[in-house]
Structure 1
Amino acid sequence: MAFQNPSREEIKRILEQSNTIAVVGLSDKPERTSYMVSEAMQAKGYRIIPVNPNADSILGEKSYPSLKDIPEKVDLVNVFRRSEHTPEVAEEAAAIGASAIWLQLGVYNEVTAEIAGRGGLQVIMDRCIKVEDSILLPHGKSKK
Structure 2
Amino acid sequence: MPLTSDADIAELLTETRTIALIGASDRPGRPSYGVMKVLQDWGYRVLPVNPQITGEHVHGEYVWRELGQIGEPIDMVDIFRRPEAAGEAVDAAIAAGAKSVWMQIGVVNEAAAARAEAAGLKVVMDRCPAIELPRLRVPRR
**1:59 matched to 2:21:** no
Alpha-carbon distance in 1 for matches of 2:121, 2:8: 13
Residue 137 of structure 1: how far off its partner (Å):
2.8
TM-score (norm 1): 0.92
Alpha-carbon distance in 2 for matches of 1:4, 1:66: 24
Q: Secondary structure at the residue paired with 2:114? A: helix
Q: Segments of 4+ in structure 1 off by > 6 A?
A: none
Indicate the larger mover: 80-89 or 128-137: 128-137
What residue identity is the alignment partner of 2:82? R
Alpha-carbon distance in 2 for matches of 1:6, 1:70: 29
What residue identity is the alignment partner of 1:33? P
Q: Indicate the residue corresponding to 2:82 in structure 1.
A: 82
Q: How much identity, in percent, do the aligned residues show?
A: 40
For structure 1, the 5+ residue unaligned runs are none
Q: With CA pairs under 8 Å and 6+ residues apart, which has the higher RCO, 1 or 2?
A: 2
Residue 8 of structure 1: how far off its partner (Å):
1.1
Q: Deviations over 1:71-106 (max 9, x none)?
A: 111100000000000111111111111111000001
RMSD of aligned residue pairs (Cα, Å): 1.2
Alpha-carbon distance in 2 for matches of 1:4, 1:99: 13
Q: Indicate the residue corresponding to 1:123 in structure 2.
A: 123
The count of residues paired between Structure 1 and Structure 2 equals 139
Q: Indicate the residue corresponding to 2:36 in structure 1.
A: 38
TM-score (norm 2): 0.93
What residue identity is the alignment partner of 1:22? A
Alpha-carbon distance in 2 for matches of 1:119, 1:57: 31
Of 40, 44, 47 in structure 1, the residue corresponding to residue 45 of structure 2 is 47
For structure 2, the 5+ residue unaligned runs are none
What residue identity is the alignment partner of 1:132? E
Residue 59 of structure 1: how far off its partner (Å):
1.0
Alpha-carbon distance in 2 for matches of 1:10, 1:30: 31
Q: Indicate the residue corresponding to 1:14 in structure 2.
A: 12
Q: Secondary structure at the residue paired with 2:27? A: coil
Residue 5 of structure 1: how far off its partner (Å):
3.0
